Amino acid sequence: MGSALCDRFASGGARLVVVDIDEVRARRTADGLPGGGHTGLGCDLLDRAAVERMVDRVAVTHGRIDVLVNNVGMTSAERFDVRSVESIEREIDLNLLSPLVTTRLAVPLLKASGDPRVVTTVSLGGIFPLGETPIYTASKFGLRGAMLAIGLALRSKGIRAGSVLPSATDTRMLRQEAVDGGNSLQFQDRPQQPADVVRAAVSLLDRPRLEAYVKPGESRFVRLAMLVPNLLPRLFPLFRKRGERGMARYLEDLRRRGLARRTGDRWELVEEA
C-alpha cells in the first residue's frame, strides 16, 4: 500500500522522502520512483530518538513537509487470551502511538508549507470491532478518534488532516494473516487493491475532509451495525462463517497467483522476487 501511494504521488510531481524500518527497502523504493530526487530513509517508528533524527534530517534537506502520510500498521493472528503482554504493547505502540508522535514532531515542518496536509491510513476496523483481533481494533479505534480530533485542532492553524478507512486490502500483511488463519471477519468480500486505497487518499488532497472511505456502501453498513452494538454477539457467528468462506477463496486466489502454497494442512506464503 505504501509503495502504491509513493508511486502515485511521485507520478504527480511530488518529491518524496520514503521511510521504512528497512533502509535498503526504503532506498530501493525511492530509487524506483518516477521523477527523481527522492530519498529513502530507514527509521524504526517505535524509537522516538530515531524519529526525531529522521524529522531533523528532513528539515535540513527540505525545510518543510507539504504532505505527511502516516501509513504504518501490524496485526497478529494470535488470539487475545494467549498473546504475550509485550506483543500487545508493541502493536498498540506501532499502530496508534507512532503516527501520533510522528505527526506531532512534523508539525513545525508542516507549518513551513503553504498548504500542509496530513493523510493517515486508519481502517474500517476503527469503526467496527473485529472480535478476532481486539488489539488491532483498539489501536484503530484510538487512531481514528485521535485523527478526527487532530483534524479539528490543527485546522485553525492551517494544517488539514484526514484519514482513509479501508477494509481488507490485498497486501502482504493481509496475505500473511490469511495463511496464519487470522481475522476471518474481514473477508466478507473480495479484498480491494492498494490502488483503491490510493484513490481515496488522493481524494483527501483534492477535497479536504476528515475521513474518506474506499467503499462507501461498506462503511455505511458497519456504522449502521454500531448503532445496535448489543446485537453483535448474535451477528458475529454469521459474519464469521461468511468470512471463513471468503478467506478460503482468497487463499485459493493467492495459490493461483503463485503467492501462496499449501503443504499438508498448512498454508505458507511464496515470497515475490
Q: Is the pLDDT of residue 112 over 70?
A: yes
What phi and psi values does residue 164 have, to the nearest 5 degrees?
-105, 135
Cα dihedral angle (259, 181, 89, 87), rounded to 10 degrees? -80
- Could you state, in order of their start, the residue ranges of all structural domains in the chain? 69-269
Beta bridge partners of 169: 192
Structure confidence at residue 273 as a pLDDT band (50, 70, 90): low
Residue 183 · residue 123 · CB < 8 Å: no
Class of domain 69-269: alpha beta
How confident is the model over 51-110, as pLDDT tens digits? 999 999 999 999 999 999 999 999 888 899 999 999 999 999 999 999 999 999 999 999
**For residues 104-132, average pLDDT:** 95
